[in-house]
C-alpha cells in the first residue's frame, strides 16, 4: 500500500503537475523549484524509492571511497523544501484520455494537467532464462547495493574463490568490475560483452587503457558472447559454453519500464519515450520526459547521468513556459561530453571525443564534480 504524505494545500489549484520518478533530472528540478517556486500549481512526485541514488558515485562506494549515505538523495526532504507532495508508490500506467497517472496497489489514480516522466531504466533481462531469479540488476540501484552486500557476506564466509560474472562491458560494467576487484582480491572476475569491443561509444585510446587495466587486475573479458541462461551456480553462453558463477551482475543497457508504451505513449523500438527537442512527448504536449527514458527526435544521445542532469534546466524552463502559455525552448545537447571512469585506485580515465588518458588528476576532478553535485542536496 503506497504511503501518501500531503503537504499543506488548502485552496483550489488550477493545475496538477505530477512528476513520475526521482531521477537525476527531477532531483535538480526539485532543487530549482525550492529556490524559485512554481505558483498556482499543485505538484506531486511519485517515486518507488524514498531516496534517489547518484550513480556517478556508485562504483566509488563499492570500492570503499564513499559511504552509502553519500550517494543517496532524500526525496521526501527535497519535496518538502520544494512544496511538492511526495507519494511513495510505483506508477504503473497512464490513462491518456482521462489525463490520469495510475499507481500500483489500491491507490486512487492521480488527475494530471501536466506530467513529467524521469523514470530512467531497469536492467533488461528479458528473454534470458533464469536471469530474473538469479542475476543481480545494476538498475534499480538499491537492488545492486543489496546484491553487493550479499556478495561481500559470501566472500567473508567462503574459503574458496568466488566466481563473479558481470554481464555488460560498457563504462558502468567496467567501472563496477574494477571497483569490485579492489575489494575482493581473491575472487575471479569475468566480464561478458555482446559486442567486439568493451566500452562502446568511447574512443580506441580509452578502450586500450581499459584493456590493459583489466589484464593487470586479472579481470577476464569475453567479447562477442551473450548470456542466454542464468542458473544458481553458472551461466550459459550463446555458443553453449557453461561458466561457473556464484554471483551474476547484470549491467547491460537499461530499458524504460514497459507501462510507458502500454499506456499509449509514442515509444521507440527499444521502449524509450519519443520526445520533441522541447522534451514534450510526441502527440501529447502535456507530457514531458527527460533522462534515460526519453529519446529526442533525430538525435542520438548517450544514456548517461550527465545528460539527464543537463536536461533539468530546459525542463524547468519549459514547464514554466507551458503553464504560462509562453513559447517553449529546444534542449540543445552538447556534441561531446567528458566521461570520467574511476579505476578504483585513486585514478580515473578521462574520455572525450577521440582523446583519453588516465591519471590521479582525473579522479580528483571526478570526485570534485560528484561531491559538488551532491552538496546541493545536503
Ligand atoms: C554502475 C553504473 C555507473 C554509472 N556511472 C555513471 C557515471 O559515472 N556518469 C554518468 O553520467 N552516468 C553513469 N551511469 C548511468 C546513469 O546511472 C544513468 O544514465 C542515469 O541514472 C539516468 O538518470 P535518469 O534521471 O534518467 O534516471 P535514474 O537515475 O535511473 O532515476 C530514475 C528514478 O525513477 C524511479 N522509478 C522508476 N520507475 C518508476 C515508477 N514506475 N514509478 C515511480 N518511480 C520510478 C527509479 O526508482 C529511480 O529512482 C552509471 C550507471 C551504472 C549502472
Considering the domain architecture, whether residues 57 and 166 belong to the same structural domain is answered as no
* Residue-wise pLDDT tens digits, 330-348: 999 888 889 999 999 999 9
Length of the chain: 378
Considering the domain architecture, whether residues 39 and 91 belong to the same structural domain is answered as yes
Domain of residue 98, CATH code: 3.50.50.60
* Residue-wise pLDDT tens digits, 143-159: 999 999 999 999 999 88
Considering the domain architecture, whether residues 246 and 147 belong to the same structural domain is answered as yes
Check whether 133 has a pLDDT greater than 80. Answer: yes
In angstroms, the CA 136 to CA 127 distance is 16
In a domain, 61, yes or no: yes
Considering the domain architecture, whether residues 205 and 132 belong to the same structural domain is answered as yes
Considering the domain architecture, whether residues 152 and 83 belong to the same structural domain is answered as no
Inter-CA distances, 104 with 69, 76, 177, 259, Å: 27, 19, 34, 11
Inter-CA distances, 143 with 154, 168, 202, Å: 17, 17, 27
Considering the domain architecture, whether residues 113 and 262 belong to the same structural domain is answered as yes
The three grid cell numbers given for residue 330, joined into one nine-digit string: 529546444
Q: What's the average model confidence in pLDDT over 26-39?
A: 95
Considering the domain architecture, whether residues 162 and 99 belong to the same structural domain is answered as no
* Residue-wise pLDDT tens digits, 278-302: 999 999 999 999 999 999 998 888 8
Residue 292 · residue 256 · CB < 8 Å = yes
pLDDT of residue 318: 97
**Percent of residues, the chain, with pLDDT higher than 70:** 96
Cα of 338 vs centre of ligand 1, distance in Å, is 18
Per-residue DSSP letters for 277-346?
Answer: TTSEETTEEEEEE-GGGEEETT-----SHHHHHHTHHHHHHHHHHHHHTPPP------S---EEEE-SSS
Cα of 157 vs centre of ligand 1, distance in Å, is 32
Check whether 199 has a pLDDT greater than 50. Answer: yes
pLDDT of residue 158: 85
C-beta neighbour count of 147 within 10 angstroms = 18
In a domain, 332, yes or no: no
Considering the domain architecture, whether residues 189 and 90 belong to the same structural domain is answered as no
Atom 43 of ligand 1, residue of closest alpha carbon: 47
pLDDT range class, residue 11, cuts 50, 70, 90: very low
Cα of 55 vs centre of ligand 1, distance in Å, is 7
Cα of 202 vs centre of ligand 1, distance in Å, is 20
Considering the domain architecture, whether residues 133 and 79 belong to the same structural domain is answered as no
**Percent of residues, the chain, with pLDDT higher than 90:** 87
The pick from 23, 139, 261 for probing ligand 1's pocket by mutation, whose C-beta has the most ligand atoms within 8 angstroms, reads 23
The last residue of a domain, from among 203, 234, 252: 252
Residue 354 · residue 203 · CB < 8 Å = yes
Structural domain range at position 266: 3-121+256-324
Cα of 194 vs centre of ligand 1, distance in Å, is 22
pLDDT of residue 2: 46
Number of domains composing the chain? 2
pLDDT of residue 1: 40
Across the chain, what does the average pLDDT equal?
Answer: 93
User: Within 6 Å (CB) of ligand 1, which residues are found?
Assistant: 20-25, 46-49, 52, 55-56, 58-59, 90-91, 118-120, 138-140, 172, 175-176, 251, 257, 291-293, 303-306, 308
Considering the domain architecture, whether residues 290 and 311 belong to the same structural domain is answered as yes
pLDDT range class, residue 91, cuts 50, 70, 90: very high
* Residue-wise pLDDT tens digits, 158-172: 888 999 999 999 999
In a domain, 378, yes or no: no
In a domain, 372, yes or no: no
pLDDT range class, residue 174, cuts 50, 70, 90: very high
Amino acid at each position: 500500500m503506497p504511503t501518501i504524505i500531503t503537504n499543506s494545500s488548502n485552496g483550489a489549484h488550477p493545475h496538477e503537475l505530477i512528476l513520475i520518478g526521482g531521477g537525476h533530472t527531477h532531483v535538480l528540478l526539485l532543487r530549482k523549484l525550492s529556490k524559485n517556486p512554481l505558483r498556482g500549481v499543485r505538484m506531486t512526485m511519485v517515486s518507488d524509492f524514498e531516496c534517489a541514488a547518484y550513480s556517478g558515485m556508485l562504483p566509488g562506494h563499492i570500492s570503499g571511497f564513499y559511504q552509502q549515505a553519500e550517494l543517496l538523495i532524500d526525496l521526501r526532504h527535497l519535496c518538502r523544501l520544494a512544496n511538492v507532495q511526495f507519494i511513495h508508490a510505483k506508477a504503473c500506467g497512464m490513462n491518456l484520455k482521462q489525463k490520469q497517472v495510475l499507481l500500483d496497489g489500491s491507490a486512487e489514480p492521480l488527475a494530471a494537467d501536466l506530467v513529467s516522466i524521469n523514470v530512467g531504466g531497469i536492467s533488461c533481462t528479458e528473454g534470458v532464462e533464469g536471469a530474473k531469479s538469479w542475476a543481480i540488476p545494476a538498475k534499480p540501484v538499491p537492488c545492486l547495493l543489496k546484491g553487493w552486500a550479499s556478495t561481500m557476506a559470501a566472500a567473508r564466509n567462503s574459503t574458496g574463490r568466488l566466481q563473479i560474472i558481470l554481464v555488460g562491458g560498457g563504462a558502468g560494467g567496467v567501472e563496477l568490475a574494477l571497483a569490485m576487484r579492489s575489494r575482493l582480491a581473491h575472487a575471479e572476475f569475468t566480464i561478458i560483452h555482446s559486442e567486439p569491443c568493451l566500452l562502446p561509444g568511447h574512443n580506441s585510446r580509452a578502450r586500450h587503457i581499459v584493456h590493459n587495466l583489466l589484464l593487470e587486475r586479472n579481470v577476464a573479458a569475453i567479447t562477442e558472447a551473450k548470456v542466454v541462461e542464468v542458473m544458481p551456480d553458472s551461466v550459459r553462453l550463446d555458443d553453449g559454453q557453461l561458466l561457473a558463477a556464484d554471483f551474476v551482475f547484470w549491467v547491460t543497457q537499461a530499458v524504460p519500464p514497459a507501462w510507458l508504451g502500454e499506456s499509449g505513449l509514442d515509444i521507440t523500438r527499444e521502449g524509450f519515450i519519443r520526445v520533441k527537442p522541447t522534451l514534450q512527448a510526441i502527440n501529447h504536449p502535456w507530457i514531458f520526459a527527460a533522462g534515460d527514458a526519453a529519446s529526442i527526435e533525430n538525435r542520438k544521445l548517450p544514456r548517461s547521468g550527465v545528460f539527464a542532469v543537463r536536461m533539468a534546466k530546459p525542463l524547468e524552463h519549459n514547464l514554466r513556459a507551458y503553464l504560462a502559455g509562453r513559447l517553449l525552448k529546444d534542449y540543445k545537447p552538447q556534441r561531446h561530453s567528458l566521461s570520467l571512469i574511476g579505476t578504483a585506485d585513486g585514478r580515473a580515465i578521462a574520455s572525450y571525443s577521440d582523446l583519453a588518458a588516465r591519471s590521479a588528476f582525473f579522479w580528483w576532478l571526478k570526485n570534485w564534480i560528484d561531491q559538488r553535485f551532491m552538496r546541493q542536496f545536503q
